[in-house]
Structure 1
Amino acid sequence: MILVKTEAGHQALKDRSVPLSPRQRSAFILFDGKRSVDDVLAAGMGIVREDIDQMVALGVLEQAAGSAAPSAESAAPVQGSSGRSKQQRYKDAYPIATQLTGGLGLKGFRLNLQVEAATGYDDLLALAPKIRAAVGAEKAAPLDKALND
């Protein structure tokens, strides 16, 4: 499905009259009528489908004329066995990861910066082995649980 900015969306871009998070705003700019929703999600802006649904609900995005509606499969959030989406797993794991790496002091400074730069679940999942190695498996258990359960 391809989305385009509405007139209200163009106005919101100029005067910031509609509250969008920085990630939503960055992704919002990519909706040019040429990129699909999947293209924007894959662009690495750290947004999820719920963010896009919110922008549609706010009236700043609409389906482009002639664009196919999303299939039920592509519209479903990516969930694990617990039913939590990747975004929810990220939200649960991020504070744990920052606490663990922040507690390392100067030794973990760079790792802490990497955690703070993580923009989504996949980024945090990629850092989990480094965090585990730095703090030990026992201390990293809550992080593993938040990422994987």
Structure 2
Amino acid sequence: MRLVAFKTNGLLKAFNKHNELIYQKEIHEQNTTQKLEFTKSNYYEFNGVFFGVCEGVGDLDYRDYPKNLNFNALLCETIENYLLNAKKPLNEQQKALLADFLEVYDKNIEKGFYYLEPPFFKEKESELLKMRFETNVRS
């Protein structure tokens, strides 16, 4: 579970993977937080804005995680080729995963800590650093 920040009042809804409403709660206070479950295939909606909840440090602004992410299928070679050679992947799935990974990375840099930690984010980052270290050792 993670605290999610809401700056305004409104209606919070939770949906399962079949888009069925499973929970709803009226938020009456402004600048409040709610403890919400992490999402994988389910999602939330607040005042018409859809969002997910991932692990991370600090209170999550619901607008910062608009969809559930999972970087298991992202190849480290895709990240490395883009960062070192500015080579975008041809595969559409890799292209989308790379764009999402870079957005999460930028948000974490902006915050100065692991604010967003979707599944397999840290593993891919660690794998990438290991690849770079091994490449430098061989050089």
TM-score (norm 2): 0.27
Answer 1 or 2: which has greater helix percent. 1
TM-score, normalising length: structure 1: 0.26
Bigger RCO (CA 8 Å, 6+ sep): 1
